[in-house]
Amino acid sequence: MSDCPHDPAARLALLRAQWGGRGDLWVFGYASLIWRPEFEAAEHRPALVRGWHRALRMRSQINRGTPQQPGLVFALMAGGACRGFVYRMRPETAEAELERLWDREMVGGGIYDPRFLPCQTPQGTVPALAFTLSRRSEHYTGRLCDEEVLAILRHARGRYGTTLQYLAETACALRERGVRDREIERLMRVAVNAGLVRPGDQPAAARRSGRRSESRSSSVSTSTSTPSSSTSTPTAG
């Protein structure tokens, strides 16, 4: 849907037309949708998407950071392959669930390029809605060195918590479900070696670290104003 209209309502209408409103509606989760889906799935399966990969390269100015201290969230980028999970929405609630999911992921006019991707599952291939990010997007960070990522992990915090917590929750959710993402595991080792989290206690330690960072930052700045919807960032797949 890279050539779809920019207006979110028009994009949703186009997506509905592609789905047709008939049959199952599947959604591909590759990060927070795995551990915080916010919709009831009738079924879920492990899935492999070829031609796309998960990368911590999207700026987050609300959910995991601020305009002054942007955070990072995962995006589905072209190239490689990605293991995640597909979730089937219940037919009787799919329309309403799609609208809620759209409001969550396409906030602020739509940063993502939503599209249906073929997802390989143990029971066969299903077309699933995936929220991808173009390298042409202003929210794409490009490649960051470990020092840049560590600075963000130390300081970035948004309305849903820290980037560090988000990374740790995603790593834990994938690991608990038998998915090993080498880059995520490497980033967690970087965080552990920097003393940001303790091995074996990563999500809980990340939350504690986020609270300490919030306490430290409050002595520097007390601004907690919420940006307008035009700068909102989605929760990221």
The percentage of residues in the chain with a pLDDT greater than 90, rounded to a whole number, is 56
* Domain boundaries of the chain, sorted by first residue: 8-215
If one counts every other C-beta atom within 10 angstroms of the C-beta of residue 235, the result is 22
pLDDT at position 94: 75
Which CATH architecture group holds 8-215? Roll (3.10)
- Burial string for 6-33 (b: 16+ CB within 10 Å, else e) reads eebeebbebbeeebeeeebbbbbbbbbb
Instruction: List residues with catalytic annotation.
Output: 105
Tell me the helix, strand and coil percentages in the chain, rounded to 5. Answer: 35, 30, 35
For residue 223, what pLDDT band results from cuts at 50, 70 and 90?
Answer: very low
**β-strand 124-132 against 113-121: which pairing, if any?**
antiparallel
What's the mean per-residue pLDDT of the chain?
A: 81
What pLDDT, in 10s, does the model give residues 23-33? 788 999 999 99
Mean pLDDT of 36-61: 94
Say if residue 158's pLDDT is above 80: yes
Model pTM score: 0.79
Report the first-to-last Cα separation within the chain, whole angstroms.
Answer: 17
Taking residues 32-49, what's their average pLDDT? Answer: 92
Looking at the DSSP bridge assignments, the partners of residue 72 are 59
For 102-111, the pLDDT digits (tens) are 776 666 556 7
Q: Are 101 and 29 in contact (CB under 8 A)?
A: no
* 221 pLDDT more than 50: no
Q: What is the pLDDT of residues 115-126, one digit of tens each?
A: 999 999 999 999
